[in-house]
Amino acid sequence: MSILIVEDDLDLAELLADELEADGHRVFKSESAEAAQALLDTEDLALVISDLRLPGQSGMDLLPRVKARPQAPAMLLITAFGTVDQAVAALKAGADDFLTKPFDMDHCLLTVKRLLEHRQLKAKVAGQHFHGIRGESPVMQRLFKSISQVAKADGPVLILGESGTGKELVARAIHQESPRCQGPFLAVNCAGIPSELLESEFFGHAAGAYTGASKARQGLLREADGGTLLLDEIGEMPPALQAKLLRVLQEGQLRPVGSDREVQVDVRILAATHRDLEQQVAQGAFRQDLFYRLDTFSLKVPPLRDRGDDIPLLARHFLANQQAAGKTQARQLSHSAWQRLLGYGFPGNVRELQNAMERAAVFCEGDEIGPEHLPARIREEVARGEGCLFGTLADAELPPLSQVQMDYVRYVLEKTAGNKAQAAEILGVTRRTLYRWLEGD
């Protein structure tokens, strides 16, 4: 794990770093709270060890910045005897523990181990929940960090990703992490509005602007004033409207349909699409200047097939939701059902997994979901894969059962990113049995 030491006593910092690196940790060092803040933004830290008294800002000044991070690192303060009262105050403010100088190194290492284990447990209990998005995989942890970083700015954000990956959830997380979080959040699907109504829907209209417009309407951009507007499937927006949107982004002004005056708006634009906008620009279907303006910040939401151990995490979460809603008595998936899920590519991403678990829960009448409860496409794809695996082997190449078993064990471990507890559950064995198999491998 990555640990940051903030200490102006260079000898003590070096000693701590040597001991922590010997324990297998990656260690960063900083001599001031100001320099430490830059590392908080660039590194995925599990623990910050900081002296309470530092040149410039103190460890107490650093504390709220550490705890404001997504998946916040644990915080261990080091203090001289005369500042113990301050250290106790720091605990009340959110610090996880403190040590007094001079301290015993063995005691310090035990404290570090306990804090890291506690942070892991908290993350596990929380299900790695980040504004409604669940994910333990490294790609999702990087996404959470990127969301927090771009949220601080106020420019447009382009959210890219396949259908079903959760682009709207990412947009909502950006809004919740931003200074605009107290303002409105509106989402509109550009492909879901008839083309003749798009301009009025976005920019509003004056009374009498056209037949049927008996009274004035603000429009989505003004309704989202002071907050955030998500334009989902931005690639479907007609070119004429793209030009008007670009003017809003550049000047913060719009003109309602049928009006002769400009209106000032303060809204942050987020745009999402599953299309290749650069290709659309090359084909003349999307304005190049608007693309570059939207691409001020760009986030890619990974497909489920690239998220490894998130498949078991999400499957359990969706099953738990069905239990809580009283729609199923099923509490677990069988070994065969797990095999089907882990071997499937999920082209429909998280949305497809959610639908599959809802279907399985409805059709399961017992307490265990089997492969027969899963959608046919999941069963059939894995079955085809199994046929290819064994059907291409000559008789002389047929492996012994022990080899096939270990190949599958390694496959499950790879899919769960080495999480032995999850792997044992999926394999239908105890962790002790799994460890015994691995030791004999």
Residues 247, 254: contact at Cβ < 8 Å? yes
- Residues 239 and 284 occupy one common structural domain: yes
Looking at 300, 329, 352, the residue that finishes a domain is 300
Looking at 126, 154, 188, the residue that finishes a domain is 126
Instruction: Domain of residue 249: give its range.
Output: 133-300
pLDDT band at 213 (very low <50, low <70, confident <90, very high): low
pLDDT band at 385 (very low <50, low <70, confident <90, very high): very low
- Residues 242 and 166 occupy one common structural domain: yes
- Strands annotated E in 89-171: 97-100, 129-130, 133-134, 157-160
What gap in Å lies between CA 245 and CA 271, rounded to an integer?
Answer: 11
Residues 352, 333: contact at Cβ < 8 Å? no
DSSP string, 242-302: HHHHHHHHHHSEE--BT-SS-EE---EEEEEESS-HHHHHHTTSS-HHHHHHHTTEEEEPP
Residues 201, 213: contact at Cβ < 8 Å? no
* 354 has a pLDDT exceeding 50: yes
Handedness of CA 156, 162, 166, 168 (dihedral sign): positive
Token duo for residue 410: 């390694």
Residues 96, 117: contact at Cβ < 8 Å? no
What gap in Å lies between CA 248 and CA 226, rounded to an integer?
Answer: 14
- Residues 311 and 435 occupy one common structural domain: yes
- Residues 63 and 182 occupy one common structural domain: no
Amino acid at 248: V
- Residues 292 and 396 occupy one common structural domain: no
Handedness of CA 141, 142, 143, 144 (dihedral sign): positive
Predicted confidence at residue 81, as pLDDT, reads 65
Angle at 256 between CA 250 and CA 259, to 5 degrees: 120
180-207 pLDDT tens trace? 999 999 999 998 888 777 888 888 877 6
Closest to 357 measured CA to CA, from 398, 306, 312: 312
* 282 has a pLDDT exceeding 60: yes
Q: What is the mean pLDDT of residues 315-330?
A: 87
- Residues 19 and 120 occupy one common structural domain: yes
Token duo for residue 358: 């809802």
Q: Does the pTM exceed 0.85?
A: no
- Residues 260 and 274 occupy one common structural domain: yes
Start-to-end CA span in the chain (Å): 27
DSSP string, 158-196: EEE--TTS-HHHHHHHHHHHSTTTTS-EEEEEGGGS-GG
Q: What is the mean pLDDT of residues 5-19?
A: 92
- Residues 278 and 182 occupy one common structural domain: yes
What is the tally of structural domains in the chain? 3
Tokens 């509003």 sit on residue: 204
CATH of the domain at 160: 3.40.50.300
Task: Name 184's Cβ contacts closer than 8 Å, sequence gap at least 6.
Answer: 223, 224, 225, 226, 227, 228
Predicted confidence at residue 229, as pLDDT, reads 96
- Residues 145 and 61 occupy one common structural domain: no
Predicted confidence at residue 399, as pLDDT, reads 67
Highest-pLDDT range among 67-71, 146-150, 337-341, 395-399: 146-150
pLDDT averaged over every residue in the chain: 85
Token duo for residue 380: 């059939």
* 394 has a pLDDT exceeding 60: no
C-alpha neighbours within 13 Å on the C-beta side of residue 335: 8
Q: What backbone phi and psi angles, to 5 degrees, belong to 61?
A: -70, -35
What gap in Å lies between CA 96 and CA 91, rounded to an integer?
Answer: 6
- Residues 152 and 203 occupy one common structural domain: yes
Per cent of the chain over pLDDT 90 is: 43
CATH of the domain at 39: 3.40.50.2300
- Residues 164 and 279 occupy one common structural domain: yes
Task: Name 206's Cβ contacts closer than 8 Å, sequence gap at least 6.
Answer: 213, 216, 256, 257, 258, 259
Collapse the DSSP code of 343 into the 3-class scheme (helix H, G, I; strand E, B; otherwise coil) and give the result.
coil
88-115 pLDDT tens trace? 788 888 899 988 888 889 999 999 999 9
Predicted confidence at residue 389, as pLDDT, reads 46
- Residues 93 and 175 occupy one common structural domain: no
Predicted confidence at residue 370, as pLDDT, reads 92
Residues 46, 74: contact at Cβ < 8 Å? yes
Looking at 266, 300, 334, the residue that finishes a domain is 300
Handedness of CA 379, 380, 381, 383 (dihedral sign): positive
* 117 has a pLDDT exceeding 60: yes
CATH of the domain at 405: 1.10.8.60
Q: What is the mean pLDDT of residues 308-323?
A: 87
